Amino acid sequence: MNKTIIALLIAFNIISISLAATSSVCTTYCPANTKSADGYDTDGLGGGCTKCDAGSSSTAGSTTCTPCSINYYSATPGSPCIACPAGTYNTATGQTSCPKAYTACAAGTSSATGFDDGTGTVCIKCLQGYYSAAQATTCTACPNGTTNTASGSTNCPVTLTPCAAGTYSSTGFDNGTGSYCTKCPQGQYSAAQATSCNYCPNGTTNSASGSTNCPVTLTPCAAGTYSLTGFDNGTGSYCTKCPQGQYSAAQATSCNYCPNGTTNSASGSTNCPVTLTPCAAGTYSSTGFDNGTGSYCTQCPKGQYSAAAQAITCTPCAKGTTNAASGSTNCPVNLTPCVAGTYSATGFDDGSGSFCTKCSQGTYSAAQATTCTPCPTNFWNDNSGSSSCPKAVTQCAAGTYSTSGYTFDTCNPCNAGQYSSAGAKACLPCPAGTASNVTSAASCPACPNLKWSNAGSTTCTIDVRQCPAGFFSKNNGYDSDMHCTGCKKCDVNTYSSTGSATCTACTNSRVSPAGSTSVTACACPANTSGPSDGVSKCDDNSSSIVIQFSLILLALITIF
Give the pLDDT mean for 29-33. 90
SS3 call for 217: strand
Handedness of CA 91, 97, 99, 105 (dihedral sign): positive
- Please report the beta strands in 296-366, taking only residues with DSSP state E, as ranges in sequence order: 298-299, 304-305, 315-316, 321-322, 333-334, 342-343, 357-358, 363-364
In this prediction, residue 350 has a pLDDT band, given cuts at 50, 70 and 90, of confident
Give the least confident one: 128-137, 239-248, 330-339, 549-558: 549-558
Return the higher-pLDDT residue of 182 and 557: 182
Tens-digit pLDDT profile for residues 475-532: 777 766 544 457 889 999 999 998 888 999 999 999 999 999 999 999 999 888 889 8
Grade residue 360 by pLDDT with cuts at 50, 70 and 90.
very high
Enumerate long-range contacts of 137-140, CB under 8 Å, 24 or more apart.
137/110, 137/111, 137/112, 137/113, 138/110, 139/110
Give the distance from CA 376 to its chain's centroid: 43
Distance CA 88, CA 21 (A): 50
Residues 372-383 have a mean pLDDT of 91
Residue-level pLDDT at 477: 72
Residue 125 forms beta bridges with which residues? 109
- Residue type (1 letter), 324: A
Mean pLDDT score, 432-453: 91
Model-level pTM?
Answer: 0.41
| Closest to 394 in 3D by CA, of 435, 422, 352, 353 | 422
Bigger pLDDT: 460 or 464? 460
* Least confident range of 225-239, 398-412, 479-493, 496-510: 479-493
pLDDT at 538 over 80: yes
What would the pLDDT profile of 260-274 be if each residue is shown by its tens digit?
999 999 999 999 999
Confidence label for 546 from pLDDT (cuts 50, 70 and 90): very low
* Contact of 140 with 153, CB cutoff 8 Å: no
Contact 139, 105 (CB under 8 A): no
Q: Enter the DSSP assignment of 218.
A: P
Beta bridge partners of 240: 226
Domain ranges in the chain are 22-101, 464-560
Helix (H), strand (E) counts: the chain: 2, 54
